[in-house]
Amino acid sequence: MNTLKRKTALKLAALVSELYPGASLSAEELAGMLEFPPDPAMGDLALPCFKLSRSLHASPVQIADALAPKMTGDEIARAEAVKGYLNLFIDGAAFSARVLSEIAEKGDEYGSPADGKGKTVVLDYSSPNVAKPFHIGHLGTTVIGHSLKLLHEFAGCKCVGINHLGDWGTQFGKLIVAYRKWGSREAVERGEIDELVKLYVRFHTEAEKDPTLDDAARAEFTKLEHGDVENTELWRWFIEISLREYKKTYRLLGIEFDSYNGESFYTDKMPEQVELLKKKGLLSLDDGASVVRLDEYNMPVCLILKRDGSTLYPTRDIAAAVYRARTYHFDKCIYVTSAGQSLHFAQWFKVVELMGYDWYDKLVHVPYGTVSINGEKLATRTGNVVLLKDLFADAIEKVKRISAEKNGGTPCSDEIAEAVGVGAVVFHYLSNNRMRDINFVLEDALSFDGNTGPYAQYTYARTCSVLAKAGNRGSFTGGKLNDAEILLAKTLSTFPDRVKTALDGYEPSEITRFILDLCAAYNRFYHDCPIVTSDDEREKNNRVSLTAAVNTVLGTALRLICLKTPEKI
């Protein structure tokens, strides 16, 4: 629809110059004034002429009355002047012909703003803590982050996906103590990450009764920091086990990362940044700890070194950002984490600016809301988590059960069950604005009724079936169109705008909502309009062409939110 807005604005600009010789209004200014009315009876586009009254030295009613007779033609079938508003109604056939022609010409590139060519975007997302389970709390950063990567790639950017693993810290001291006290190589090799989690949970249970365990854990981590051979071997083994498990989940989601450099990778890169902070006179002591004071920016101090000289998260993040700037020369570096870390990012982003790095304004934090389970906070140490592998397994099994019920006892293939089951969970999560807190109820996530992932994937499969029966993709020949056909073309035309909104706001749910709008418009069209069975050849070609356009655009949109596009369900 924005293409129509731009074309209309150009025509309006020429008319204003013709009718009001002393006035000068650009097409860009007029495009900003045009609105999409909420009520179709008020037109497809409307210009509130009140906004022009002062510059044209005429009343809104006079302006609307003067413009209306000259606005018809091209894609505008009718123009009405109503109480100072210029209401414009599209020519459905001409508008649809242009939209479908553009989709056919651009194919899978339709909707791409293509303004990212030549730009590099680094995205830091997922980033689970090693030796802990991949649970529902990780779903947000993982699917929001990957969808943003897909959106930026769609815009033409070169993207670098980084999984900044939590592979350093005192939790490894705790795990080493727990392993030596209550674990065995045989048990861990058999149970892998599940066994590591049991050991971690047991450590916290036992430490409540015996606080000396915390001292022992700190001691073991200190040994690890100093390169102790046995602890280093255990640490690497724990990482290997964890990555093997995580990659199973990433495979289900269709995600691959360009880098798995975690916190430990930056250990030898932090001293340089600490020295620069000292050289810049930014460090000061606060109860023995080295901090950067941010009082004048209305933020608490940013901790750089503990009292014992060891580093913290801000130190590691600053070192990582410098490494990425030097390695990838990014135009933007995006961090996808929970909103609870917003202050942390604001602090170290400001420290990077104070250090004099000229790329500080290319750092972007994309926060998202919290996830709870039936109203209870997630906590690995207490075991209150829903593992993603279990959630996906339940969803896949449900798809098989439903398909068997509908197909006389024969379930769908494993590939389709996986695509639809995993898609149901992802779509459920991305249906929400990313800042909304989510109380994750398993039954809701696995519901296939209403506005869900399976409904969207089924609609895509329906378009594939129609095109297979038609034998070709049709040729739009215009003529009179009904309301369902015009609505479908209008919905398709909004995809480029929705993509841009999603990119500008780092909001994948914008694409999810577009998918639901397009599915609703297509299913109404499908039920109201005979397609392959139409006796009118022109009508049949138009409708097959519309279906082909939906197939292209819906497929693109689904892939942008990490969903697969099975042709049969």
**Adjacency order of strands within the sheet including 289-292:** 283-286, 289-292, 302-305
Q: Give the phi and the psi of residue 532 in degrees, each rounded to 5.
A: -65, -30
The predicted structure's pLDDT at residue 176:
97
- Mean pLDDT across 458-465: 96
Q: What percent of the chain has pLDDT over 70?
A: 98
pLDDT at 135: 83
Compute how many other C-beta atoms are within 10 angstroms of the C-beta atom of residue 393. Answer: 15
- The Cα–Cα gap between 341 and 99 comes to 43
Q: What is the pLDDT of residues 247-300, one digit of tens each?
A: 999 999 999 999 999 999 999 999 999 999 999 999 999 999 999 999 999 999
Q: Quote the DSSP letter at residue 500.
A: H
Give the pLDDT of residue 376: 64
Instruction: Tell me the per-residue pLDDT of 471-498, one tens digit each, with 9 for 90 and over.
Output: 977 789 888 999 999 999 999 999 999 9
User: How many other C-beta atoms can be found within 10 angstroms of the C-beta atom of residue 328?
Assistant: 17
Could you tell me the pLDDT band of residue 385, with boundaries at 50, 70 and 90?
low
Mean predicted lDDT score pLDDT of the chain: 93
CATH topology of domain 414-560: Isoleucyl-tRNA Synthetase; Domain 1 (1.10.730)
pLDDT of amino acid 169: 87
State the pLDDT confidence band at 17, using cuts at 50, 70 and 90.
very high
CA of residue 189 relative to chain centroid, distance: 36
Please report the pLDDT score of residue 377 as a whole number.
Answer: 65
Fold of 2-90: Gyrase A; domain 2 (3.30.1360)
**Residue 437 CB contacts under 8 Å (≥ 6 apart), including other chains:** 369, 370, 371, 372
Kindly compute the dihedral angle of the four CA atoms of residues 411, 416, 422, 428, in this order, to the nearest 10 degrees: -90
Beta strands in 201-328 (DSSP E): 283-286, 289-292, 302-305
Beta strands in 369-458 (DSSP E): 371-373, 376-377, 438-440
**Domain residue spans in the chain?**
2-90, 414-560
Tell me what percent of the chain is helix, strand and coil, each rounded to the nearest 5. 60, 10, 30
pTM assigned to the model: 0.92
Helices 495-504 & 139-154 angle (0-180, nearest 10): 120
Residues 332 and 273: beta-carbon distance below 8 Å = no
Convert the pLDDT of each residue in 150-189 to its tens digit. Answer: 999 999 999 999 999 999 988 999 999 999 999 999 999 9
pLDDT at 409: 87
- Amino acid 91: pLDDT: 94
**Burial class of residue 157, CB neighbours in 10 A (0-12, 13-18, 19+):** buried
Provide the pLDDT for residue 439: 82
CA distance 122 to 541: 44
Q: What is the mean pLDDT of residues 329-351?
A: 97
